[in-house]
Amino acid sequence: MRGFTLLELLIALAIVGALLAILLGGLHVGLTAWHQGEDRAEAHAHLRNLSELLARSIAAAFPYRQSDREGGEAQLQFQGEEERLSFVTFAPPFPLAPSMAFTAVTFAQRAGGRPGLAISEKALPNFDPLEEAEPILVDSAVTAVSFRYLAPDGDWEDRWDGQAEQGLPQAVQVRLTVRLGGRTESLPSLTISIPARTP
């Protein structure tokens, strides 16, 4: 009877060990790629939801006019700056309870230069609809936000005062810079048309 020598067994075990190491290494690489793909898909789904939230609220902007506490002339409630947008909408990002016809909404870069998009809401009627309200959401994935406003003559402006312009801009362009998976990315501009509405 002839059996395997010790040398043959050692060679066979070394080959099996090498094959197992290759198999486990490939499995590890595959699992890592799968997790990274899931993380990236989750981050992009989050950004898609944020973009839809911004688009829905801004597209539903309304030329709401309101007097101040002293009862002076009714002012159009739309204030747009480069890093802040305050307006009245009938489609708020997070509907208030009880349901209100109009809600004042502010999208702004977080105060103090800290990263994050702060979203604030106030129910109307309210004497100071565009004044600071506590943020109901701060999205810390957003590291920078900027807004531009399309004037009737076709020029993009960095600021828009609804009262001075006597109306809403034709569109708002939103640029977001976000931190995804340790990388900072500037997303393509999101241009949101605002339909002409009369108060």
Give domain limits for the chain.
52-193
User: What's residue 1's pLDDT?
Assistant: 56
Comparing 3-7, 23-27, 75-79, which segment has the lowest mean pLDDT? 3-7
* Contact status, residue 63 vs residue 194, Cβ threshold 8 Å: no
Residue type, 164: A
Does position 19 have pLDDT exceeding 90, yes or no? yes
Give the mean model confidence (pLDDT) for residues 7-27: 92
Q: What is the mean pLDDT of the chain?
A: 84
Residue type, 39: D
pLDDT tens for each residue of 105-121: 888 887 776 778 888 88
Six token digits for residue 138:
């701060």
Among residues of the chain, what percentage have pLDDT more than 70?
88
User: What's residue 17's pLDDT?
Assistant: 94
Number of neighbouring beta carbons within 10 Å of residue 142: 21
